[in-house]
Amino acid sequence: EMSASLVGSEMCIRDRCILREAYNMDDKTQLILNFINESSSNMPYVLKDKLIRDGKKLKYRFEFEEIKNSIDEFIEGNELNRFIVLPGIRGVGKTTLLYQAYYYLLNEKHILPNQIIYLSCDDLNNIVDCNIREIVDIYLNNQFNTQLRLLDKEIFLLIDESQYDKNWSMSGKIIYDRSEKIFMVFTGSSALNLEYNADAARRMFKRVVTPLNYNEHLKLKYDYSNINLGNSLVSLILNGEEQNAIKYENEMNRDLINNIKYNFNDWDEYLKYGGFPILARKINFRRLSTNIVDMIEKVVNTDMVAIKNFTFENQTNSNRILRYLALQNAGDLSQNNLAKYLKTSQANVKNILDILEKTHLIFSIEAYGTSSKRMKKTKKYYFATSSIRNALSENSGNTINDIKQYGGILLENHVVSILFNFTQRGNDCFTLYYDANKKRNVDFILQRDFKNPVPIELGRGRKDKKQITHAINSYGADYGIIISDTTTNIEKHNNIIYVPPKTFSFL
């Protein structure tokens, strides 16, 4: 009897364990469904709060047009671009792009709410481990009593902070392969760019959401845009054709003069605090700098912590490296000196810099020349926008007292970031370098495929053409460009084109 009792007891314990596991599974499923349903029911209020300012809808970043066009094509039966991935630094407007896509689907394409799933993996991860594929399976089973392979209606999956699913790219690949009825947009910051499945990469359309150029800034803040100027600047750089650029520059200057809302200090404010949509809404510059510093700390203390083997010590090292960069001349960095300063190895410094690049906080450019020359020369590092450098400088105590010198450093970072972002916006045929020649070197060289390079010099208060002339002759260039704050309009003298920084920022 005692033996039978023990057997019965063991069976009861086993059954209770099975029931508990089943309960936990059901509990997790219910948590996920509750989260999605709550998110969906709150979305009308969220859209009103996030997309409406002073009774008017927020203006679109240009990336929205690409999302909108892909949605339209998908609805019309073209499944080519149904897996869009939007990595980018925090604060550049990726979440807003998802809200605008949701609004477009709901109000202009009249898609039913239960066919749109908006999900913030960051928020969900506070409740349960975020697994995008599992979430989709649960939702389809609950809402439509079906699974991916049998899905017969269009579903739109808008996933924010996708990097909180460690296997986000594999989840996207599986969903993509198993159903042609799901349209996906994944956004994310740092870790989204750190690692993804090679097979998934062949299926996705990846578009880096870069900080705002001046044209995008004006569009959000003043509802003014001159896309023709941006396009003509591309032709100016590619072919040295300045006539259209001059035409549209004159148009832009005239339009801004006639725009009664335009603040003529706006360009200086943009140089120090721009690149992020928040500048279009806030005028408290101290608070803006604080917001940017807070964003940086979140990247380091949250995003980078999620990376395997990234220690607390390297969190501290990352913050110190960023502040070290902010207090140096633009681009200058000795990894050996930095390793000594941090009391760590050069290999660790290199690892931290590589990860910081993948978070989009900084970027690097190599020296122009042969592969061996690029290997021997150190990279130059810059911040994603001049406003990040300015915010860190203000926060750390700016050691540069000369206002003109500091303005020149911000301007250099701004110009190189505009050039770098230009190469990131689907312009893969371009590569940006710095000129490593010891004598009469220019600041940057833009190379397009196998065509002649374009040397670019930053004027900084002068129109000296010795360096650009030397670079044109040395590299066999057809023309060179000087971005000079001493000219108010585009000018061309022989084979040298002068462009004001404000105009150049429309690129």
Res. 454: pLDDT tops 60: yes
pLDDT for 228 equals 96
Residue 171 has pLDDT above 80, yes or no: yes
Residue 19 predicted with pLDDT over 60: no
Instruction: Please write the tens of the pLDDT for every residue from 191-213.
Output: 555 556 667 777 888 888 999 99
Is the pLDDT at 43 greater than 80, yes or no?
yes
For residue 103, the model assigns a pLDDT of: 96
Q: Which amino acid is at 171?
A: S
Nearest to 475 by CA among 437, 501, 503: 437
Distance CA 467, CA 63 (A): 37
Alpha helices in 259-345 (DSSP H): 266-273, 285-298, 312-326, 335-342
Of the pLDDT bands very low, low, confident and very high (cuts 50, 70, 90), residue 394 is: confident
Tokens standing for residue 153: 């209606």
Q: In whole numbers, what is the pLDDT of the chain averaged over residues?
A: 86
pLDDT more than 70, % of the chain: 89
Confidence of residue 224 (pLDDT cuts 50, 70, 90): very high
Q: How far apart are alpha carbons 368 and 292 in whole angstroms?
A: 32
- Closest C-alpha among 317, 356, 355, 365 to residue 338: 317
Over 60: is that where the pLDDT of 17 sits? no
> So what's the pLDDT on residue 302?
81
Asked whether residue 135 carries a pLDDT value surpassing 60, the answer given is yes
| pLDDT tens digit sequence for 48-79 | 988 887 778 888 888 899 999 999 999 999 88
**Amino acid 365: pLDDT:** 92
* pLDDT one-digit tens code per residue, 245-282: 999 999 999 999 999 889 889 999 999 999 999 888 76
Burial class (CB in 10 A: 0-12, 13-18, 19+), 191: buried
Q: Which two tokens stand for residue 195?
A: 């690692």
Q: Report in angstroms the alpha-carbon separations of 247 from 281, 310, 464, 484, 503.
A: 31, 52, 25, 19, 12
Exposure letters 214-225 (e unless 16+ CB within 10 A, then b): bbbbbbbbbebb
319-328, 366-375, 411-420: least confident range = 366-375
Is the pLDDT at 404 greater than 60? The verdict is yes
pLDDT at 234 exceeding the cut of 60: yes
Phi-psi region of 77 (alpha: psi -120 to 50; beta: other; left: phi over 0): left
Task: Give pLDDT, residue 486.
Answer: 84
Contacts of 109 (CB under 8 A, 6+ apart): 71, 72, 75
Q: Does residue 45 register a pLDDT over 80?
A: yes
pLDDT average, residue stretch 447-461: 84
**Strand, coil or helix: what is 507?**
coil
> What band does 426 get if pLDDT is binned at 50, 70 and 90?
low
Query: How far apart (Å, rounded) are the C-alpha atoms in residues 289 and 391?
Result: 5
Q: What is the mean pLDDT of residues 81-90?
A: 90
Q: Is the pLDDT of residue 493 over 60?
A: yes
Across the range 389-406, mean pLDDT stands at 79
Determine the average pLDDT of the residues in 421-431. 74
Report pLDDT for 378. Answer: 85
Question: What proportion of the chain, given as a percentage, has pLDDT over 90?
Answer: 49
Instruction: Provide the 8-state DSSP code for 56.
Output: E
**Which of 174-183, 298-307, 357-366, 424-433 is predicted with the least confidence, judged by mean pLDDT?**
424-433
